[in-house]
Amino acid sequence: MSKANAKPQTLKPAHKLSNPEMRIYVGDCRDVIPKLPEYAKGAPEKGAAGWGRGGVDLIFADPPFNWNRAYDQWDDNMHREDYVEFTYQWLDLCINCLAPRGSIWVNIPDDTAAEIVMHLKKRGLTMINWCIWHYRFGQNIRHRFISSKVHALYFCKDPFNRTFNEEEILEPSDRATTYADKRTFNKKEGTQGKRLPMDVWYGKWWGRIQGNNKERRPAHDNQIPEVYLERVIRACSNEGDLVMDPFLGSGTTCTVAHELGRKSIGIEYSAQNAKSCFERIKNGCIRIEKDNPTVHVNPLFVRRGATPSAGE
Ligand SMILES: C[S@@+](CC[C@H](N)C(=O)[O-])C[C@H]1O[C@@H](n2cnc3c(N)ncnc32)[C@H](O)[C@@H]1O
């Protein structure tokens, strides 16, 4: 067969599950994403045409930071200009995958946050939140302040047509936990004493995953806590939606997405990591449960005064 007549290269997932559909592809996400099937509206749930480029509801990307980390395969020590170019390339590919109502979250430290924000804005996406993931087990550093945060950048294609499930992620307000403010208990049913989380994220289960942590996957010092992905996925997608992670790592995104009934695509450069992700996804989450959203209680100050009850 001449080259011109050759069939387009089909992409085979290295691992897959059904109910809900989950596929892991091994390779550089810049090679894999263009080969994903094109999303065909109205296509049956099963089969490649029902999902893919143009149909992804939510992307969560936690790329290599270019900090010379010892990843299984990936060289995490590019020249700075090459790393920035790499960043723009995968961002553009991800944007092409988003459904019109889709959102993208990027987890990124200080050194590349500005470039990513500017690039996404240039590409016409709208910033909804610039959140901070704050952790208190940073590396000791001298001659400057210790790093204790990563940026969680939340962008969408259309700010007037996006999924945001407030009721899935409410948490006790400071008015309820600290200030004994009775007005918060007179709010509409289901929201009494609660509000949406603030844009700095910390608290129980929110620390960096350490070696002795129950959640920790072997050989993964970059694993993100399940509760972080729980918040993003519950808020920005619905059951049955399609979630994608171009840098799957230890598999947190697909593990949480699968637990919460979302379809998912994970891409990982290392075949060994991908295999470990698959085992993790099959075993399910350690901390979170589908029908029982984690409630975060993170007051900074001790309670002042007694708790009033509704109607007071
Ligand atoms: C920061 S880690 C992701 C951690 C992940 N969020 C978790 O919770 O485990 C980045 C991962 O991306 C993978 N990776 C690096 N470059 C890649 C590329 N171009 N395409 C796909 N995966 C890549 C690395 O092997 C590593 O496992």
- The proportion of the chain whose per-residue pLDDT surpasses 70, expressed as a percent, equals 91
Residue 215 lies in a domain: yes
Residue 185 predicted with pLDDT over 80: no
Neighbours of 7 (CB within 10 A): 6
Q: What pLDDT score does 150 carry?
A: 96
B/e letters for 209-236, b = 16+ CB within 10 Å, e = fewer, are: beeeeebebeebebbbbbbbbbbbbbbb
Q: Is residue 7 part of a domain?
A: no
The protein residue with its alpha carbon nearest to ligand 1, atom 2, reads 249
What pLDDT is recorded for position 275? 97
Q: Is residue 305 part of a domain?
A: no
Residue 174 has pLDDT above 70, yes or no: yes
Tally of structural domains, the chain: 1
Residue 254, in any domain of the structure: yes
Mean pLDDT of the residues in the chain: 89
Nearest CA to ligand 1 atom 26: 249
What is the CATH classification number for the domain harbouring 218?
A: 3.40.50.150
Q: Is residue 117 part of a domain?
A: yes
**Can you tell me the mean pLDDT for 86-99?**
97
288 within some domain? no
**What lines the ligand 1 site, CB under 6 Å?**
28-29, 62, 64, 71-72, 74, 220, 222-224, 246-247, 249-250, 252, 267-270, 273
Q: Which residues span the domain enclosing 272?
A: 14-162+204-283
**Residue 186 counted as domain residue:** no
Residue 212's φ and ψ, nearest 5 degrees, are -95, 10
Out of 190-194, 235-239, 303-307, which region has the weakest mean confidence (pLDDT)? 303-307
For residue 269, what pLDDT band results from cuts at 50, 70 and 90?
Answer: very high
- Among 59, 74, 206, 216, which is best to mutate for testing ligand 1, by the most ligand atoms less than 8 A from CB? 74
In a domain, 259, yes or no: yes
Percent of the chain whose predicted confidence (pLDDT) is above 90: 70
Q: Confidence class of residue 1 from pLDDT cuts 50, 70 and 90?
A: very low
